[in-house]
Amino acid sequence: PAAGDNRYRPGTRDVDFLIPYMMDEELRNIILKGTAKVELTLRSRFAYLLASDGNAYTYMDPESYQSVRSKRGELLRDNLLRNMSKWMGMSNEVCMRHYRRKGGPVPVWAAVETFPFDTLSRMLSLHTDAKALRELYRSVGLRTNLRTSSEVVHAMVYLRNLCSHHARLWHREMVIPSPMTRDMKTAFADFEYGEKSVASSLFALMYLVWNIEGDDGYAMVIRHFLDSNETYASGIRTALHWE
């Protein structure tokens, strides 16, 4: 099509693109169940750990976050704090209305309920409470450095957003792929995935849910789904460059 030739290749059938289209829809629903489990677990455990460290009300302090700057020179924490304030202000949850009426500070366990996954991810990547972060990441099987753990979570946000916006998964090149830790590779040594493929992010998602739930039930759902159609599975395991 880029060269102006819109003819299909000889022998192409409608099922060649309708089946991947329909299976993408099913896989997106499976992925969203897993990413929801990861998101809810991370936000509830992080709020608990911060509060346990005596930081239930310090999450809006600039000093609680690293002074990292963007390529434009802006402090990333400033943008994060604005977003956090925005989401809390927009919330109509009963508990948030309660704290607004009282006029007092909002505890972190109530605040995180209003944050979308990407805001929570940025909160984790910039927060300075290394003790709470290490305990949080270890609780979901991430026994690596904080930066790598943060990158895994960021990749899950990207994967979730793709599915939430009904994006194509088949043969997609993941712009934000998940790092592969040694523990992940050990847990699912026989799971095939190509570089920057959707399968590489599924690999990380299966691992996180396995550590959260304590069994491989979710991983087996994904495996059985991919096993049902090898042609489709190949497109999930392989990223194509469309240019």
Read off the pLDDT of residues 146-194 as tens digits, 9 standing for 90 and up.
Answer: 999 999 999 999 999 999 999 999 999 999 999 999 999 999 999 999 9
Task: Estimate the crossing angle of helix 198-213 against helix 146-164, to 10 degrees.
Answer: 110
Amino acid at 131: K
Rounded Cα distance between 172 and 83, Å, is 30
Rounded Cα distance between 155 and 175, Å, is 9
pLDDT at residue 95 tops 90:
no
pTM for the full predicted model:
0.91
Can you give the pLDDT at residue 123?
97
Phi, psi dihedrals of residue 75, rounded to the nearest 5°: -75, 120
Would you state the structure tokens that stand for residue 203, as one six-digit string? 């690999």
pLDDT band for position 6 (cuts 50, 70, 90): confident
CB 38 within 8 A of CB 140: yes
Mean pLDDT of 209-213: 97
Rounded Cα distance between 146 and 68, Å, is 15
pLDDT at residue 43 tops 70:
yes
pLDDT at residue 38 tops 80:
yes
The beta-carbon contacts of 123-126 under 8 Å, at least 24 apart in sequence, are 123/46, 123/59, 123/65, 123/80, 123/84, 124/42, 124/46, 124/150, 124/153, 125/150, 125/153, 125/154, 126/65, 126/66, 126/68, 126/76, 126/77, 126/80
CB 152 within 8 A of CB 179: yes
CB 140 within 8 A of CB 42: yes
pLDDT band for position 12 (cuts 50, 70, 90): confident
Residue 45 Cα distances to 96, 110, 220, angstroms: 20, 13, 26
| DSSP three-state, residue 199 | helix
CB burial of residue 186 (10 Å; 0-12, 13-18, 19+): exposed
How confident is the prediction for the chain on average, in pLDDT?
Answer: 94
Can you give the pLDDT at residue 2?
74
Mean pLDDT of 34-42: 98
The beta-carbon contacts of 229-234 under 8 Å, at least 24 apart in sequence, are 229/19, 229/23, 231/19, 232/19, 232/20, 232/23, 232/170
pLDDT band for position 242 (cuts 50, 70, 90): low
pLDDT at residue 241 tops 80:
no
pLDDT band for position 84 (cuts 50, 70, 90): very high
Can you give the pLDDT at residue 72?
87
User: 230 versus 15: which is more confidently predicted?
Assistant: 230
Is the sign of the CA dihedral 227, 231, 235, 238 positive or negative? positive
Mean pLDDT of 50-71: 93
